[in-house]
Structure 1
Amino acid sequence: MRALLALFAAILAVPLLAQSAVPPAPYAYRQLEDPAQEAEAVALMETLRCLKCQSQSIADSDAPMAGDMRHQVRSRIAAGEEPEAIRAWLVERYGDYVSYAPTVSSTTWPLFVVPALLALVALLVLLSRMRRRGSENAS
């Protein structure tokens, strides 16, 4: 029984070993030859979040997934695609979370409205307290 379980575990581990042996994408660590295109790619990569690290941009992350995303960005820039079109493709593929610069949409509007509402409530509370203090001091 133990031998059967060991064999089963070994069979399950084979795909994991194969995945780590995959070489990085060509543009994951290599810059574009055109400096203007590379600058455009880097500017875009700094505004895209690594989905594995979650606290780094794909420009700063060493995760394999970030390397694949850098490759996609550089390949598409080299092909003449606009950065915003690339961002839209990545957002469509990975969701709004991939972008450090979210756009207002049906799913992201609370990110923009809730802070404004909280600031308005705080301002109203502050004004009401100031009025009460003013009326207490006047009496």
Structure 2
Amino acid sequence: MKLIVAILSLVWTPLAVAQDSVPPAPYAYRQLDDPALEAKAHDLMVTLRCLKCQSQSIADSDAPMAGDMRSQVRQRIAAGEEPEAIRAWLVERYGDYVSYSPRVTAMTWPLFAIPLVLLLVAALLLRKRFGRNVSE
């Protein structure tokens, strides 16, 4: 058993160290020189979710993946790409979960419709329940 643990630690340790030794992306921690472009990039970054942290935007997260995403956003903004095109590219690449403002699609419309239907049913039940007592 000790031999197996020793072999696994020899195999996994270099892999873990290799991931930490990758340098950050060019614009992961460096802002754009133009304040207007940096403001556009930041406004977009606060609306994108870090896929590793899941509770932070990529603007707030220190995860390496968030740094890579910040760098991509800044590079694309600097190249003249519009923020919504960048958002669409990130959603295509990582899925709808990356965006804090979800789109209504054929797959997601029930998520928006079901709460409204439940509120309507609750209102009808309350009206029926309390409406009967008032008229009697």
1:14-25 aligned at under 5 Å gives the runs 14-25=14-25
Unaligned runs of 5+ in 2: none
- 3-state DSSP class of the match of 1:43? helix
Structure 2 letter corresponding to 1:16? A
Q: Deviations over 1:15-42 (max 9, x none)?
A: 1111011111111111111111111111
Residue correspondence of structure 1 range 53-68 to structure 2 within 5 A? 53-68=53-68
Match of 1:76 in 2: 76
* Paired-residue identity, %: 68
Q: Which residue of 2 is the match for residue 113 of structure 1?
A: 113
The residue type paired with residue 67 of structure 1 is: G
Report whether the alignment pairs 1:29 with 2:3: no
Q: Judge which range, 105-114 or 41-50, deviates more.
A: 105-114
In structure 1, C-alpha distance between the alignment counterparts of 2:90 and 2:109, rounded to whole Å: 19
- Distance in 1, matches of 2:35 and 2:118, equals 44
Instruction: Report the secondary structure of 2:31's partner residue.
Output: coil
Cα distance in 2 for residues equivalent to 1:22 and 1:118:
50
Deviation at 1:4, TM superposition (A): 6.2
Q: Distance in 1 between matches of 2:115 and 2:5?
A: 54
Aligned to 2:104: 104
Q: TM-score if structure 2 supplies the norm length?
A: 0.92
Q: 1 CA distance for matches of 2:119 and 2:5?
A: 59
Deviates more, 1:43-52 or 1:123-132: 123-132
Question: 1:12 Cα deviation (Å)?
Answer: 2.7
Alpha-carbon distance between aligned partners in 2 of 1:3 and 1:135, rounded to the nearest angstrom: 82
3-state SS, counterpart of residue 15 of structure 2: helix
Cα distance between partner residues in 1 of 2:2 and 2:108: 51
Report the aligned-residue RMSD: 1.5
Deviation at 1:13, TM superposition (A): 2.2
Cα 1:4–1:50 shift into 2, 3 Å: closer
State the AA in 2 paired with 1:7: I
**TM-score after normalising by structure 1:** 0.90
